[in-house]
Amino acid sequence: MKRILVTGGAGFIGSHLCEYLLESGNEVLCVDNYFTGSKRNIEHLRDCPRFEVLRHDVTIPLYVEVDEIYNLACPASPVHYQHDPVQTTKTSVHGAINMLGLAKRLKARILQASTSEVYGDPEEHPQREEYWGNVNPIGPRACYDEGKRCAETLFFDYHRQHGVPIKVIRIFNTYGPRMHPDDGRVVSNFIVQALKGDPITIYGDGSQTRSFCYVDDLVRGMVRFMETPEAEPGPVNLGNPGEFTILELAETVLRLTGSASPIVFRPLPQDDPRRRRPDIGRADALFGWRPGVPLATGLERTIDHFRNVLGHHPVHCLA
Ligand code: NAD
Ligand code: UDP
Ligand code: UDP
């Protein structure tokens, strides 16, 4: 049994990771400031005696005793990370410094949840880890993209300079139950709109692509990578290489929900990446990881979740 710290543990991916680590017999300390996460995401874990929750902002130093750290704290949806962009960069950069300082003192392994956004609007397709990316450093997405890039820099420098054992993953668009209904990302938006009979809002003409990974596949990959030998710091892409246009996603959600919602087209946000698909050869070669859940199956599970949530609570109460 290990004592494992999960920052951002009350968020969408973090709550699934906490659950998985507890199921594997570990002690889990969940740290979160509830900016985009919620107590409801971890409510079902509260009775487990090996689970502990601390309300804390990672931009402030943290002194705890653990064996391993997963650093996920950071809003991930463009709507939320652009709400307070200065705080977003602080969370990525100061958060990384504090968690790396903690890992250095404890000589603990630390995994960074980086992102495919480090590739920006990619000129290489699919994206391999060797690609340095195409990020606008002063645009509205930069607080997130450059914050995450700087966090990667800090991870590799703490590794080289202080010998901290690091694991850096680059997560591609991930979806599943416990995304917040008002999260603003495309999968949750489309499902909630379809279930409520509201128009499906496609930004641009819907020809831009994304590759969607179901959350259980991702969490399995994160933990598998954490368990690989110390000599392998990454970065490693984790995502599902199945690539879809946003219009295809909208049509699939409409079909699976049986909704009659109309599709409407809205302006494309600035710097919105045109296409994105991970090359996952490195994860496969290093720890035999490939995602197993096809998009339709994952969407069905996510739709079930949102049917439940929307059926039980009026949407405006879901803070
Ligand atoms: P999320 O917004 O649901 O979760 C983020 C969590 O971090 C929330 O619980 C939030 O309250 C918490 N948080 C934010 N700022 C904090 C701070 N300063 N101190 C403490 N806690 C803080 O998002 P998610 O989709 O679960 O993403 C989790 C991580 O994975 C993020 O680091 C994100 O950048 C990364 N990621 C996610 C995706 C994806 O598609 N979901 C893709 C790439 C990377
Ligand atoms: N830190 C922390 N918890 C710890 C150890 C360090 O939050 O258990 C913070 C510490 O406050 C510092 C940061 O991590 O701001 C970086 O630590 P490091 O040891 O690298 O830097 P230093 O303390 O020498 O500035
Ligand atoms: N998008 C959309 N309608 C929405 C929300 C998002 O068409 O209601 C588009 C968005 O412009 C982008 C893609 O879907 O091209 C994925 O957006 P998301 O915010 O989920 O993730 P990211 O852009 O960070 O990959």
Q: Is the pLDDT of residue 317 over 60?
A: no
pLDDT class for 311, splitting at 50, 70, 90? confident
Question: What confidence tens digit (pLDDT) does each residue in 80-114 have?
Answer: 999 999 999 999 999 999 999 999 999 999 999 99
The predicted model scores a pTM of 0.97
Average pLDDT, the chain: 96
Question: What confidence tens digit (pLDDT) does each residue in 59-82 have?
Answer: 999 999 999 999 999 999 999 999
DSSP calls for 172-221: --EE-TT--TT--SHHHHHHHHHHHTPPEEEETTS--EEE-EEHHHHHHH
Q: Is the pLDDT of residue 312 over 70?
A: no
Ligand 2 pocket, 62 CB below 6 A? yes
Across residues 298-315, what is the average pLDDT?
Answer: 86
C-beta separation of 192 from 308 below 8 A:
no
Question: What confidence tens digit (pLDDT) does each residue in 207-261 have?
Answer: 999 999 999 999 999 999 999 999 999 999 999 999 999 999 999 999 999 999 9
Q: What distance in angstroms lies between residue 140's CA and the mean position of ligand 3's atoms? A: 14
Q: Which residues pair with 29 in a beta bridge?
A: 5, 52
Q: Is the N-terminal amide bond of 229 cis, ω within 30° of 0? A: no
Q: Is the pLDDT of residue 35 over 80?
A: yes
Q: Is the pLDDT of residue 318 over 50?
A: no
Cβ neighbour number for residue 14 with a 10 Å cutoff: 25
Question: What are 141's two structure tokens?
Answer: 């997405």
Question: Of the listed 144, 158, 175, 214, which one is catalytic?
Answer: 144
Residue % of the chain over a pLDDT of 90: 97
Determine the pLDDT at residue 316.
46
Question: What ipTM, to 2 d.p.?
Answer: 0.98
Determine the pLDDT at residue 313.
55
Side chain identity, residue 5: L
Question: What confidence tens digit (pLDDT) does each residue in 123-153 have?
Answer: 999 999 999 999 999 999 999 999 999 999 9
Q: Which residues pair with 112 in a beta bridge?
A: 71, 168
Ligand 3 pocket, 203 CB below 6 A? yes
Backbone dihedral angles phi then psi of residue 253, each to the nearest 5 degrees? -65, -40
Strand order in the sheet with 166-171: 51-55, 27-32, 3-7, 68-71, 109-115, 166-171, 236-238
Across residues 178-193, what is the average pLDDT?
Answer: 96
Ligand 1 pocket, 152 CB below 6 A? no
Q: What distance in angstroms lies between residue 125's CA and the mean position of ligand 2's atoms? A: 38
Q: What distance in angstroms lies between residue 8's CA and the mean position of ligand 1's atoms? A: 6
Determine the pLDDT at residue 223.
98
Q: What is the CATH number of domain 3-175+213-240+273-293?
A: 3.40.50.720
Q: Which residues pair with 110 in a beta bridge?
A: 69, 166
